[in-house]
Amino acid sequence: MLIRRTAVTALVLGALVACGAQTDSPPDQGQADDLPATAQILQAVTKDDALAARLPAAVAQAGTLKVGSNIQNPPNNFYAADGTTPVGSEVDLIKAVGAKLGLRVEHQDMAFSSLITSLQAGRIDVTMAAMNDTAERQRQIDFVDYFTSGITIMVQKGNPSGVKGPDDLCGKAVAVNLGTSQEAFAKEQSGKCAQAGRGEVTVTSTDSDTQNQNQLRTGRVAAILNDLPTAVYVAKTAGGGEFFEVVPGTPINGGPYGIGVNKNTPELAAAVQQALQALVDDGTYGKILDAWGVSQGAVAKVTLNGR
Are residues 154 and 23 part of one domain?
A: no
Q: Which domain holds residue 264?
A: 6-149+255-304
Residues 6+ apart with CB under 8 A from 261: 119, 125, 126, 141, 142, 143, 144, 268, 269, 272
Given 233, 253, 273, the domain boundary residue is 253
Tell me, what's the pLDDT at 40?
97
Q: Which amino acid, one-letter code, is at 236?
A: K
Q: How far is Cα 271 from Cα 261, in angstroms, rounded to an integer?
A: 11
In a domain, 177, yes or no: yes
Are residues 233 and 161 part of one domain?
A: yes
Residues in the chain: 307
Are residues 213 and 138 part of one domain?
A: no
Tell me, what's the pLDDT at 249?
83
Looking at residue 239, which CATH number applies to its domain? 3.40.190.10
User: Which residue positions in the chain have pLDDT lower than 50?
Assistant: 1-20, 26-32
End-to-end CA distance of the chain: 29
DSSP bridge partners of 246: 154
Q: How far is Cα 300 from Cα 274, in angstroms, rounded to an integer?
A: 13
Q: In sequence order, what DSSP letters do the residues of 112-177 get, joined into one string?
A: GGGHHHHHHTTS-SEE-SS-B--HHHHTT-EEEEEEEEEEEEEEETT-TT---SGGGGTTSEEEEE
Are residues 291 and 226 part of one domain?
A: no
Q: Is the pTM of this model over 0.85?
A: no
> CB neighbours (10 Å) of residue 174?
29
Are residues 143 and 46 part of one domain?
A: yes
Tell me, what's the pLDDT at 22?
59
**For residue range 47-60, what is the model confidence (pLDDT) as tens digits?**
999 999 999 999 99
Helix (H) or strand (E) run with residue 272 in it: helix 266-281
Q: Compute CA 123 distance to the chain's CA centroid, rounded to the nearest angstrom.
A: 20
